[in-house]
Structure 1
Amino acid sequence: MQRSIIALYLVFFLFAANYTAAAAEPMLSVSGEKLRISQLEELYEKADNFTTGSPDSLRYIAELIKKEGLRLNNARALVRGTRYQAQALWRLGNHKEAMKLAIVALKDAEKGKLTGELPDIYAVIGNLHKEKANYSMALAAVDKGMAIARKNRDTASVIYMARLEAMFTQGLGADKEDTALIHKSLKMHLEGLKLAESSARFEKQRIGYYNNIAQACVKRGELDRARFYVTKGIELAKKYDQLLSLTYSYTWLSQVYLGEGDKQNSIYYLKEALRITRQLKNPFREMEVNRYLYRTLNEMNSYKDALQAYTRYIEIRDSLRVLENVRQIGEMQEQYEAGKKDQQISTLAEINKVKTRETIWALAGLSVFLVLSVFMLFQYRTISRTNQELASNNAKINEQAEKLKILMKELHHRVKNNLQTVSSLLSMQSSRLTDDDARNSMRAGQQRIEAMSLIHKSLYGQDAVNLVNMKEYMSNLIDSVMQSFGVEPGDLDLRLNVSVMEIDIDVAMPTGLIVNEWVTNYFKYAYNSTTDPRLSVILEARLEEGRSLLLRIIDNGPGMSLDKWKRPSGSFGMKLVQVLAKQLDAKCSVEVSGGTTFIMEIPAVSIAGNR
């Protein structure tokens, strides 16, 4: 009997234990989910702090947020993680990839009806447009973000959007040299600051306002007022450990000291900004600070140090590929004083005074460049032949060939830098010319240099030192010509079809120069003649006809005169096309029907591969 009672108790105990565990399991699940959501909130807070700090740290936190979002199937976490990734890439200078991620975040947020995330996403998109000086698109993005923030009654987002709107208005005014817009932007900043100062909750957001107002006051010459606001910005940036914002505060404080004649403190704060930027590992901001350091040193007549700062600015800009996103490089601000410069700078100053010598020096510079290019090509061919001979020998010679390959890449890198230096000098000089013909000749020469520079840039970035990736090269070349004429991608129906992957530099160089001349000719004489401009560039291999290469350039302009093509006595560009075509043993023809079609067939081209 006792055994039966004990057995009955055991059965009841096991049933009760199982029932209790089953009932507690949902409670534990809910508790665990709350814990993970709490951890997500902590990650959000860390990411928000890193948006003005280290971009690498922000990318790491963003990845953690997205992983946790996937695990929890949390749409908000996935959207916010993608937006943080876009912000990190923006700070690192990779604007193209940043915009792609921002658009992904925008679509996901709209699909999931996550309206609270939209203002910050539109802010990222607006800032990326601002980096390309496309202020109209930047303001349009901010307007959308502001409308949503107001509808959500999100005061913090309204304050942020108001600051961006004022900042972009200031940039638009500076770009258009519109004093009324610049004054309007200062008024907008002051109105936004009042809202930010209405509550202690928004104290951190005042930092950006203080810095932007200080910048505007510096440019207006109101140094005491600029010092007042920048001091407030420094105080709050240190309080909230906003190191990136602190670099902007130090930059404007240095300009205040410069305006007051205190050169020592001016340089000190710029170098402090540079130190913090390097600590944050933010190359894009380091590039900006070096640009200000160069301008300040140049204004102080410290030409040697100014050149070092400018060189560092150029190096960082090249490494970030800023040339693909921005327009032409900046111009010099002050003329160099006679007697304090070397002979080259004195000669450039003299060129500004004597009109005839401008043209002479321009032609001399182009001649030196052409001689240098021929010399470099001769060196390349010599090294290439040597490399082929060494390849047939023993392992030691193969090791020497590998070293030679590295040397060639360095050579292409140096040629690219030299060509860029020549292009920069021509750009600076053309801005000083008063004669339109001389200026146009300068700019045309600069674009031809840019076409050759892109070849060496391509060769430096790949393993094959004598083969040019034609698809990438053609795309970069046409983008460069469009930027030189101020044409945005949306303003032109461009159809680029390159079915040849790689060809030898001896063919790629003259082919690129011919495309440069013809596309430049299109923008000069045909682009503005139609309301729906269209340009097609087609490069394909004709394997069935002995591996020939066929180039076609087609536009819908009014059509060029065939006499100009047949007798190009007054056009250097058309003469250059015919000379380069003869060098390639190519057959050229021009057809005029509903536009202009240029056709060139190059025989017996060695093609590395097709798509």
Structure 2
Amino acid sequence: MNVFVNCLLHITLCLVSCIVTAQQELPPTESSAPDSVKLKLLWKMGDSLVDANQFIPAKKIFEQALAISQAGDDTRRIGISYRKLGSWSESTGDYGQAIDWFLKSQNTFKIAGDQRNFARSFRFIGFCYNRLNKVKEARQYIERGIAYAQQFGYDQLLPEFYSELINIDSHGKQYASASAYTEKVLAYYKQKKDWQTYYGTLFNAGLLYKNMGQYVRSEQAFRQAMTYAVNEKDEFFQGYINTSIPYALIPQNKLDEAEVACQRALNWVEKTGVDKYAVLEDVNSHLSRIYEIRGDFRQALTFYKRQMANHDSVFNATKNRQVAELETRYQMREKEENIQQLASTNARQTRQIWAGIGGLIVLTILLGTLYWLYERVRQSHQKIAQQSDQLTIMMKELHHRVKNNLAIVSSLLKLQSSRLDDEKAIQAVRVGQQRVEAMSLIHQRLYQTDEVTTVNMRDYLTDLSESLMRAYDYPADEFDLQLNIELQELDVDMAMPLGLIVNELVTNAFKYAYDKTNGKRPLLRIDLRSQSDKSQPGITLEVQDNGPGIDVSDWQQKGNKSSFGKRLIASLSEQLEGHFELLKQNGTLFRLHMPNVRASV
């Protein structure tokens, strides 16, 4: 129940966050959470909006966070709010404005005594200067950050600074220093066992070694990164590696391997669409160079044309992004001019928000009530299931006890037969014993399976026939027993009388149908099937031997001369609401038909 309530509260908060995001403001301060909670929520909302390229509402969120932090007079939170605005300007391509925000952030951290965030600010500022192609200023800020981090023991910041220096030196073709910084970064992440960052850095190292002309070393770096990507099943990393590794393979004249990597990169980019035109430009450039080296200049020209087309697409995308950034800045200025006009609208929307929150609370209560009702129903069903399981166990125990009792009766009859002298009396007792064992076998089947009301007729009739065959001393390899049981499952109320009928018929067959002296191989066929004939639907049982055949008139005689077995078969057939017939057909054929009404019951 607690988990369900927590989920409902989480959903409610998410919906509230969505509403707040749409309105670019939080509920009134007097009824809201503490400033620390509000600021974390606002920063998170702003970052999410930036990731979604919703720059205008994102700036409103960050400005609101700055206002709250300034009102609370918490210098560190003010510094973070400045940095969020700097990151926003950086995302829109306004690096000059971003530097101003980062400088404000750094000064605020210095006043607050937050040395770690003060040191980190150097990297943000250096990055922006590098993007403005002011390499000298960028290097100065990065080197100052490194010195500060080393002075105060912030070793975890050093890889970030070294990564910026790698970018600066690589762009300036100062490969020796870039390679040295790369080794430092790799050593740090290897020591920390941060393998994701390590292999990402190793991938960039492969590109650096390629630019340095160290193609073997570059290939090794790419292949190590590929091994990691394959083990982690990172298809995106694999795609970028396949796109870049031909830079190292082609100069080594490993053209076939380079072409395979290109094909994999093409398959990946067609599947995902990630950096499509940039990847296609690189891959077609590789393929053009491969076919040029092979001397197939026609194919090389084809790939070169594709490369140029992809290059144009990349150029257009870059220009469109720059236009979008300029349009965003223009829209921001336009939006800022309308802030005052939106004040009254925001107040009205705030009231709507709280009305919506009230509705969500009511909905939460309603859902909680429904869950409570659901729990009660589930518990009731669980109780019923437990009672059903207990009943099943009791039924199994009952069948077990009945089977044991019938076994005792069978044993008593067997003992009694051993004390008799009259052969007819002995045979009569043994036949009674077999009838008891036929019933006992059904109860044994019922307690040995999960089904306590149905009997597997194939298994039951097989066991019954084989036990009678052993009782009358007929080896299995000298006897043809044919069981055609199409109807697998039957209710115990039908299985019991059917089993007794089969027991009587099979017993009669063993007693009268077979003559061991004539050399004829005995045969017994038992069929149990359902009839789909519309004129006579139902179930049919057939038992047939290959003996001399029975005298039908003798069977049909009634009165005291009729044997108990015949009367039992007739009584059981009547109990099953069926009718039977006895035929002399290559032996004796007994056919019992039960109507479909009885079968369905």
TM-score, normalisation: structure 2: 0.39
Which is greater in Rg?
Answer: 2
